[in-house]
């Protein structure tokens, strides 16, 4: 087709795009702007192949649409959190891979840190993660995506071809290991091809996808178009555009950007320029990326005038080009050979935030391409204070530059010039020395020696340790000739080896000291010097103690302080078993003054040596060498060697910490005067306080009896008043108080005051308070009672009296904690609802002035709320500004700014922004304005704000607004925020999209969720595991196919999947590799039966398979419980794959399956064979096996398993109670309940007992209705409680009875062992567990009916509120909230959050402002408060 014809057809095709199903709105037009795409709700364009969506955005072409972006981008879409959680493929494999998982998590954290900090990763780190994944043998789809996407522009230090080879290596290896590839993986591979300029056939690529049964989506087509355009093939791009049109896929900005590149590469720069006009005609306003594509086109041509004009056009079109955009143009100019225009472009750099990492990546890419001079020009634009290290003592700008020059074998002449200029311009203090260190690190001997010569010419010092890296490899290889050659190089440079160099890097390579002496003499080294002598002693000390003694004991041996060779001597002592020589050497050092310089005595130095020897050894080493050390110490005593007491004490402490006290007696024998020390322990007991029970009638009867007997009434009177208070019976409570005024306790008065305040009877409450003072002036109420009075007074309009109460609190130094601060907030907020601004101001000022509470944004907010409710924005702003001036807080500034934006009051808005900028910084001001514009739907203005040069992501602020959008169901605002932050520096894109998915999950909008998935692929985002799960949950709940691998355990799959019918027509595949991929994909989707049928078909056709698909299929069949089929597959594998063995996971699953099928003996045999092959079972396999043995009464079998686990020598996090509980159950199964009781009693009566749980045993015998066992074990529990004060068994039994609705039995248990009611931690733990699942509130209320006061209401009520929240029971939640208000109990913020969400979901308005933070924030806060909770102090 002639080129002009192709162009004409392309134009026609693009014109026809306007007539597509979603045009013009489908072509990326948003109200208020023509540049950016619509919200996701308008982008769903029907399925591609039944499941894909259409999405588009301006940022997607960052690394696709031109050369420079492919080779060097600092792609924001890639700068996200790469810390993908390690996927646990099988629950049963946790123990096997625990160590590998820890290492992998560490590596991923390092990778994430590297990308966030520098925008790149190193090849070394990437390969390490790759090898870790391969070593585990179970790569997930997400891990494969991580590795593939890291093989492109994130490796600027690696040549393009090498990056592509690495990508292919990753692809093939992970596929071989069973990774399941979906369309996102193929799209990632395409992205890597484009970034690495790899030439490939798009049609072959599509055919490869078709063979793998993977359906392309819009992102695939966009990147294929980019591939054609990269080579200037407009005709090929037209073909793909035709495909897109046929599938009703929108033509996005990314496609147009590629076409700009394509036309330019084809030599038609005018057509490239005209694409912008075509875009506008199609309803898409060209964005920054489009202009960058055109700029790169002109840069390739070297057209400076057009470059300038295009930049001016971009600025006039309100498309702000960032520094990284200009850097792409610079890279293109350099690569095209137009270096003369680069200074012009460099002048346009604005040095925004993030400039340095961007510029570093540009320099690295330029050096990789052999363009060092341009890279150095860029380096000189770095800020002068920029340093590559944390030290600021001396400048060292350019470390990365010099290191990469060495790595890429840049000529020494150039490196020398770079170093000279860096030093002369005071950018680097010692560039040559640093370059040398890089060359030595890279083991480049020739370069290193040349650099040393260069340093010598410049009179720079050359140290002996510079040669260590060159000597290390020769020493490892025992290459004496290599060492001698390096040594000659040292001599040529005039460097003499020091003691460390000789003893560590030269002498050890020779077979003997004589050989070393001769070799060194031959090259002119003096072997009589002190340095050589010291080195000789060090070397001999490590290897031969007998020879060392001969050397040192020679009278002609010169003086040499022991400190010169002490470390080597200690090393030799630790290695050697020659105790005789050890004693001789110690004796020599103890007596001979030649080895003790500086005035210290030889005996002292020898004693310290003994201490240093023990100190240098680990506890395991001392334990292993205990016999050797004992002989050594005994022989020292025989030689009359003594040590000071302080040395003895130091050695004794070491031996005690090493758990080798047996050696202490041998050490103490070396001391002249012995000291004895003893330690005595003490035992304390904690008294128990019984609980309060009884109802009003019983208590009144008791009160009458006490009065008749003339006994004290205080305690019972207090109980009656507390009970009446709970029933809100104020009148009866006051009557009782009147009748027994002399017997009233302080606690009773406090309860009455609370009750009066709840009933708004302020006069009576104040009267009661005065009565307390008359009775005892020293009594001080606690903070909550005072604040309750303040609330009641302010509610009645008696603000001055409320202020007096606050002043009294200050005078009496009443302690205030977080709970009281929250109460104060509710007091002020109640006044705000009534619009009483003056009262709020007076109380707030009093609280802060007196210092009762620290000023917080929360405490300051009611005043602003009052103004906002009156629509007085000016007053609200002035009040907020005053708070900032006085207390450094800006309460509700977002709501104020939103109000001003909605009102259009630009004068006040400017005043607010100026104030925020001055007091909180410009970035805070910009975020406040950004969120206000988003909130009010002014998206064009919001985009201008967030694209402010230098602005960087603030995760906390972004999360705050996202949570707000989720809680108020504001999808459009949330979508716009996510879209606008695509290029925000350091923005976590996965986190941003997860917010949209959370809202999709709440609204059950699967179309939008699917659109989000496509959008994430466009941005090249690697999703976290939780993001994939969330997306999969939305799709599954709506019956949609999940076209990617969902990280989940095999047993989760086994529990949730349905039986799969065998497909009548299996897909046609040809090669073994294709069969293998298909088989493993079916297994991972839970279609084991279908995979089994395909395997049979493979066998018939004679297709050869590797071991991986067999193992995956066996695991999948075992997960379904199909043991027979699994064993059949194992037999097939054994006959077709030589040496086939089940993996650890499959073997563990086989043990589990045997156990579940009631075949524990077979499971035990499998375990034995597994351990004999040095393989490790999973924790789940051992647990299930032991449980099965217990249920079959096989005590001996359990003991065998326990013994095997002890011999294993490694921990798989298995509790010892697994064996004890199931042994007890085995005894019970055999009718030997007495042995079970004896076993369990022994556990609890042991002095070192940790009181473990036996709830599992109780549950089993209760389920089986084993009356005999129940009677015996319950008697045991009572005995342990009453005789040994051990309450865990009784508590376990009581809670199990309660959980199984055996309420009467639970009551009986409680009556016989009332101390159970005091086991507060266990009872609260039970309540906490019940709140995790719906329908459990009845059990909690039953517990409360049996033990009414087992914990404070402040602790209990949040759990009840959670129950109602989980049950979605708004009416019960409302009733609880009202009850808390009546009782004066402050509702914690987490409960308020839950209640507000219930209101919202029912379409009702909560009578209080919804707490703005996340559930997790308030949950953590409540947990911290609960941990500090203590029993009430008032009695």
3-state secondary structure of 1170: helix
Residue 1025 and residue 1047 in contact, taking contact as beta carbons nearer than 8 Å: yes
Higher pLDDT among residues 156 and 462, named by residue: 156
Average pLDDT over residues 198-220: 90
At 109 the pLDDT is: 62
Gap between the Cα atoms of 1012 and 1007, Å rounded: 9
pLDDT for 294-322, tens place per residue?
999 999 999 999 999 999 998 888 888 88
Average pLDDT estimate for 752-764: 83
Q: What is the predicted pLDDT for the residue at 1020?
A: 80
- The CA distance from 433 to 841, in Å, is 66
> Where is mean pLDDT largest: 218-232, 470-484, 544-558, 1077-1091?
218-232
Residue 701 has pLDDT above 80, yes or no: no
Q: Work out the pLDDT band at 38, boundaries 50, 70, 90.
A: very low
Q: How confident is the model at residue 330 (pLDDT cuts 50, 70, 90)?
A: very high
Model confidence pLDDT, tens digit, residues 767-778: 888 888 887 777
Q: How confident is the model at residue 27 (pLDDT cuts 50, 70, 90)?
A: very low
| Least confident interval from 362-366, 1219-1223, 1419-1423 | 1419-1423
* Contact call for residues 597 and 561 (beta carbons, < 8 A): yes
* Percent of the chain's residues with pLDDT above 90: 16
pTM above 0.75, yes or no: no
Kindly give the interhelix angle for 893-903 and 857-869, rounded to the nearest 10 degrees.
30
For residue 1205, what pLDDT is reported?
Answer: 82
Q: Is 303 helix (H, G, I), strand (E, B) or coil?
A: coil
Cα separations in angstroms, 33 against 317, 977, 1362? 12, 15, 45
Helices (H), 1285-1315: 1288-1299, 1303-1312
Higher-scoring residue by pLDDT: 1396, 48: 1396
Instruction: Give the tokens for residue 651.
Output: 């050695």
pLDDT value for 110 = 64
Choice between 328 and 747, residue whose per-residue pLDDT is larger:
328
The mean pLDDT value of the chain amounts to 79
pLDDT for the residue numbered 733: 82
Output the CA torsion sign for 568, 574, 579, 583.
positive
Q: What is the model's pLDDT at position 507?
A: 79
Q: What mean pLDDT comes out for the span 411-425? A: 89
Q: Looking at the predicted structure, is the pLDDT value of residue 451 above 80?
A: yes
Give the pLDDT score at 1268.
Answer: 86
- Of the listed ranges 116-125, 520-529, 783-792, 1015-1024, the one predicted with least confidence: 520-529
pLDDT at res. 197:
92
Tell me how far apart the alpha carbons of residues 37 and 426 are, in angstroms, rounded to a whole number: 49
Q: What pLDDT shows up at residue 675?
A: 41
> Where does the pLDDT of residue 220 fall: very low under 50, low under 70, confident under 90, or very high at 90 and above?
very high
Q: Is the pLDDT of residue 86 over 70?
A: no
- pLDDT over threshold 90, residue 525: no
Summarize the confidence of residues 453-464 as an average pLDDT. Answer: 82
Q: Among the ranges 127-131, 674-678, 1207-1211, 1418-1422, which has the highest mean pLDDT value? A: 127-131
Q: What is the mean pLDDT of residues 1252-1276?
A: 88
Nearest alpha-carbon partner for 736 in 1347, 786, 791, 727: 727
CA dihedral 1331, 1335, 1338, 1340 (to 10 degrees): -10
Q: Are 981 and 987 in contact (CB under 8 A)?
A: yes
Structure confidence at residue 1209 (pLDDT): 58
Bond from prior residue into 24 cis (ω within 30 degrees of 0) = yes
pLDDT score recorded for residue 384:
65
The set of residues, in sequence order, having a beta carbon less than 8 Å from that of 280 and lying 6+ positions away, is 34, 286
Q: How confident is the model at residue 526 (pLDDT cuts 50, 70, 90)?
A: low
Neighbours of 901 (CB within 10 A): 19
Query: In terms of Cα–Cα distance, which of 314, 316, 312, 294 is closest to 303?
Result: 294
Provide the pLDDT for residue 695: 53
Question: What number of other Cβ atoms are within 10 A of residue 1280's Cβ?
Answer: 22
pLDDT of residue 697: 67
Shortest CA distance to 283 belongs to which of 46, 45, 36?
36
Nearest residue to 365 (alpha-carbon basis) of 113, 144, 197, 188: 197
Contact between residue 380 and residue 87 where contact means Cβ atoms under 8 Å apart: no
Mean pLDDT lowest among 313-327, 597-611, 951-965: 597-611
pLDDT above 90: residue 329: yes
Tokens of 522: 């031959």
pLDDT in the model for residue 878: 92
Question: Is the model's pLDDT at 902 over the cut of 50?
Answer: yes
The span from the CA of 631 to the CA of 638, in Å, is 11
| Average confidence (pLDDT) over 1082-1088 | 79
User: Residue 396: helix, strand or coil by DSSP?
Assistant: strand
* pLDDT per residue as tens digits for the range 1132-1173: 888 877 777 888 888 888 888 888 888 888 888 888 888 877
Give the pLDDT confidence score for residue 1104 in this predicted structure.
77
pLDDT at 694 over 80: no
CB 495 within 8 A of CB 462: yes
Percent of the chain with pLDDT over 70: 84
The single-letter DSSP state of residue 381 is T
How high is the pLDDT of residue 185? 92
Selected residue with higher pLDDT from 315 and 1285: 315
Q: Which two tokens stand for residue 947?
A: 């694209």
- Residue 1150 main-chain phi, psi, to 5 deg: -65, -40
Instruction: Compare 1334 and 1212 and report the one with higher pLDDT.
Output: 1334
Q: Hey, how many other C-beta atoms are within 10 angstroms of the C-beta on 68?
A: 29
For residue 1329, give the H/E element and its range.
helix 1320-1330
Which distant-in-sequence residues (6+ apart) come within 8 Å of 709 by Cβ? none
- Rounded CA-CA distance 740/714 in Å is 9
Only one residue has tokens 């499941």, namely: 51
pLDDT (0 to 100) of residue 194: 94
Instruction: Specify the 3-state DSSP secondary structure of 772.
Output: helix
Could you tell me which of 1150, 1113, 1120 has the C-alpha nearest to residue 1058? Answer: 1120
Instruction: Please give the residue that has the higher pLDDT: either 64 or 945.
Output: 945
Radius of gyration of the chain measured on its C-alpha atoms: 39
The top-scoring range by mean pLDDT among 447-456, 675-684, 865-874 is 865-874
pLDDT for position 1084: 76
Average of per-residue pLDDT across 621-639: 87
């Amino acid at each position: 087709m002639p080129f002009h014809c192709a162009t004409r057809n392309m134009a026609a095709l693009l014109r026809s795009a306007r007539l597509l199903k979603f045009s013009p709105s489908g072509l990326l037009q948003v109200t208020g702007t023509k540049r950016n795409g619509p919200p996701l709700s308008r982008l769903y364009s029907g399925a591609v192949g039944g499941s894909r969506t259409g999405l588009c955005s301006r940022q997607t072409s960052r690394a696709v649409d031109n050369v420079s972006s492919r080779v060097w981008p600092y792609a924001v879409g890639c700068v996200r959190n790469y810390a993908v959680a390690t996927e646990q493929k099988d629950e049963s494999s946790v123990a096997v891979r625990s160590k590998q998982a820890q290492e992998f998590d560490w590596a991923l954290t390092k990778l994430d840190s590297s990308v966030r900090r520098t925008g790149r990763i190193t090849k070394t780190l990437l390969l390490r993660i790759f090898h870790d994944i391969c070593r585990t043998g179970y790569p997930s789809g997400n891990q494969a995506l991580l590795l593939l996407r890291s093989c492109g522009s994130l490796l600027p230090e690696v040549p393009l071809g090498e990056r592509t080879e690495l990508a292919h290596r990753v692809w093939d290896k992970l596929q071989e290991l069973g990774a399941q590839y979906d369309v996102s993986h193929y799209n990632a591979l395409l992205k890597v091809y484009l970034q690495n300029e790899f030439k490939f056939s798009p049609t072959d690529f599509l055919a490869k996808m078709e063979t793998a049964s993977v359906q392309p989506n819009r992102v695939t087509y966009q990147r294929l178009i980019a591939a054609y355009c990269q080579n200037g093939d407009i005709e090929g791009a037209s073909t793909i555009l035709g495909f897109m049109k046929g599938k009703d896929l929108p033509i996005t900005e990314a496609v147009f950007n590629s076409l700009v590149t394509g036309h330019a590469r084809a030599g038609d720069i005018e057509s490239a320029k005209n694409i912008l006009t075509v875009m506008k005609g199609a309803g898409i306003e060209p964005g920054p990326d489009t202009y960058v594509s055109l700029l790169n086109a002109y840069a390739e041509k070297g057209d400076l005038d057009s470059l300038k004009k295009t930049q001016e056009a971009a600025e006039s079109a309100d498309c702000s080009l960032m520094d990284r955009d200009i850097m792409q143009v610079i890279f293109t100019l350099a690569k095209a050979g137009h270096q003369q225009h680069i200074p012009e472009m460099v002048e346009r750099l604005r040095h925004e935030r993030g400039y340095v990492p961007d510029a570093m990546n540009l320099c690295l890419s330029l050096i990789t391409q052999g363009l060092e001079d341009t890279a150095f020009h860029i380096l000189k634009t770095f800020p002068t204070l920029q340093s590559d290290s944390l030290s600021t003592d001396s400048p060292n700008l350019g470390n990365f530059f010099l290191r990469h020059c060495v790595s890429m074998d840049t000529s020494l002449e150039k490196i020398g010039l770079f170093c000279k200029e860096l030093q002369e311009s005071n950018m680097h203090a010692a560039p040559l020395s640093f370059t040398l260190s890089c060359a030595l690190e890279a083991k480049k001997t020739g370069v290193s020696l040349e650099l040393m010569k260069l340093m010598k010419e410049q009179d720079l010092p050359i140290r002996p340790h510079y040669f260590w890296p060159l000597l290390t490899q020769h020493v490892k290889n025992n290459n004496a000739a290599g060492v001698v050659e390096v040594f000659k190089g040292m001599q040529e440079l005039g460097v003499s080896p020091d003691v460390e160099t000789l003893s560590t890097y030269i002498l050890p390579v020779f077979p003997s000291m004589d050989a070393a002496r001769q070799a060194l003499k031959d090259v002119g080294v003096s072997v009589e010097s002190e340095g050589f002598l010291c080195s000789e002693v060090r070397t001999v000390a490590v290897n031969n103690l007998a020879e060392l003694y001969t050397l040192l004991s020679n009278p002609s041996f010169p003086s040499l302080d022991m400190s010169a060779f002490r470390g080597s001597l200690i090393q030799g002592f630790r290695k050697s078993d020659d105790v005789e020589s050890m004693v001789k050497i110690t004796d020599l050092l103890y007596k001979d003054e030649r080895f003790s310089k500086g005035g210290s005595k030889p005996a002292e130095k020898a004693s310290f040596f003994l201490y240093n020897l023990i100190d240098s050894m680990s506890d395991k080493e001392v334990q292993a060498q205990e016999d050797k050390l004992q002989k050594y110490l005994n022989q020292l005593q025989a030689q009359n060697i003594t040590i000071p007491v302080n040395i003895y004490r130091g050695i004794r402490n070491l031996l005690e910490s090493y758990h080798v006290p047996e050696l202490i007696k041998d050490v103490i024998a070396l001391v002249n005067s012995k000291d004895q020390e003893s330690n005595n322990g003490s035992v304390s007991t904690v008294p128990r306080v019984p609980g309060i029970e009884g109802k009003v009638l019983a208590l009144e009867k008791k009160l009458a009896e006490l009065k008749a007997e003339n006994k004290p009434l205080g305690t019972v009177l207090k109980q009656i008043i507390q009970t009446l208070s709970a029933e809100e019976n104020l009148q009866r409570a006051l009557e009782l108080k009147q009748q027994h005024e002399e017997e009233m306790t302080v606690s009773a008065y406090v309860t009455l005051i609370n009750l009066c305040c709840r009933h708004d009877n302020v006069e009576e409450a104040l009267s009661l308070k005065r009565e307390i003072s008359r009775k005892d002036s020293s009594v001080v109420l606690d903070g909550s009672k005072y604040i309750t009075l303040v609330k009641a007074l302010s509610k009645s309009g008696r603000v001055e009296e409320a202020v007096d109460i606050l002043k009294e609190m200050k005078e009496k130094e009443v302690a205030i904690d977080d709970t009281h601060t929250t109460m104060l907030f509710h007091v002020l907020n109640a006044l705000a609802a009534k619009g009483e601004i003056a009262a709020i101001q007076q109380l707030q000022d009093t609280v802060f002035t007196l210092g009762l509470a620290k000023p917080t944004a929360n405490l300051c907010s009611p005043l602003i709320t009052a103004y906002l409710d009156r629509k007085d924005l000016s007053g609200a702003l002035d009040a907020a500004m005053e708070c900032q001036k006085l207390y450094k807080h800006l309460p509700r500034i977002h709501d104020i700014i939103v109000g001003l934006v909605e009102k259009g009051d630009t004068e006040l808005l400017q005043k607010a922004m100026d104030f925020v900028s001055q007091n909180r910084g410009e970035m805070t001001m910009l975020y406040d304005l950004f969120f206000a514009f988003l909130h009010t739907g002014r998206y064009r203005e919001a985009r201008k704000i967030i694209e402010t040069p230098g602005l960087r992501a603030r995760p906390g602020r972004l999360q705050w607004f996202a949570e707000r959008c989720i809680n108020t169901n504001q999808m459009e605002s949330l979508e716009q925020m996510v879209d606008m932050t695509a290029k925000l520096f350091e923005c976590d894109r996965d986190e941003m999209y997860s917010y949209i998915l959370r809202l999709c999950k709440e609204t059950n909008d699967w179309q939008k969720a699917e659109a989000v998935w496509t959008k994430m692929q466009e941005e090249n985002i690697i999703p976290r595991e939780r993001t994939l799960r969330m997306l999969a949950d939305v799709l599954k709940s709506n019956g949609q196919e999940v076209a990617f691998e969902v990280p989940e355990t095999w047993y989760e799959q086994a529990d949730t999947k349905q039986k799969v019918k065998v497909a009548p027509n299996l897909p046609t595949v040809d090669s073994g590799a294709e069969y293998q991929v298909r088989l493993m994909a079916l297994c991972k989707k839970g279609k084991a039966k279908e995979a089994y049928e395909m395997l049979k078909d493979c066998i018939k056709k004679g297709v050869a398979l590797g071991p991986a698909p067999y193992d995956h299929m066996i695991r999948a069949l075992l997960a379904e419980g199909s043991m027979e089929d699994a064993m059949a597959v194992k037999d097939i594998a054994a006959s077709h794959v030589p040496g086939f063995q089940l993996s650890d996971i499959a073997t563990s699953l086989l043990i589990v399956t045997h156990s579940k099928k009631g075949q524990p003996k077979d499971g035990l045999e499998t375990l034995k064979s597994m351990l004999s092959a040095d393989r490790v079972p999973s924790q789940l396999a051992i647990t299930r096996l032991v449980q099965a043995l217990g249920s079959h009464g096989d005590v001996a079998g359990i003991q065998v398993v326990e013994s095997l686990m002890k011999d294993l020598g490694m921990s798989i996090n298995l509790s010892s109670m697994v064996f004890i509980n199931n042994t007890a159950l085995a005894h019970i199964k055999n009718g030997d309940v007495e042995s079970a009781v004896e076993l369990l009693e022994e556990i609890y009566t042991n002095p070192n007992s940790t009181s473990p749980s036996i709830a599992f045993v109780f549950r089993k015998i209760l389920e089986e209705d084993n009356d005999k066992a129940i009677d015996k074990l319950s008697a045991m529990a009572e005995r342990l409680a009453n005789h040994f004060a051990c309450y865990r068994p009784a508590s376990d039994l009581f809670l199990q009875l309660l959980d199984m609705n055996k309420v009467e039995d639970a009551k009986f248990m409680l009556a016989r062992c009332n101390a159970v009611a005091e086991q507060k931690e266990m009872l609260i733990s039970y309540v906490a567990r019940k709140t995790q699942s719906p329908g459990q509130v009845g059990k909690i209320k039953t517990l409360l009916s049996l033990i009414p006061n087992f914990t404070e209401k402040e602790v209990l009520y949040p759990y009840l509120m959670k129950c109602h929240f989980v049950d979605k029971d708004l009416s019960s939640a409302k009733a609880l909230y009202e009850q808390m208000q009546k009782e004066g109990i402050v509702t914690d913020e987490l409960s308020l959050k839950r209640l507000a969400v219930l209101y919202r979901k029912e379409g009702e308005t909560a009578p209080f402002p919804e707490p703005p933070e996340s559930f997790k924030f308030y949950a953590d806060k409540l947990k911290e408060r609960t941990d500090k909770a203590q029993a009430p102090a008032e009695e």
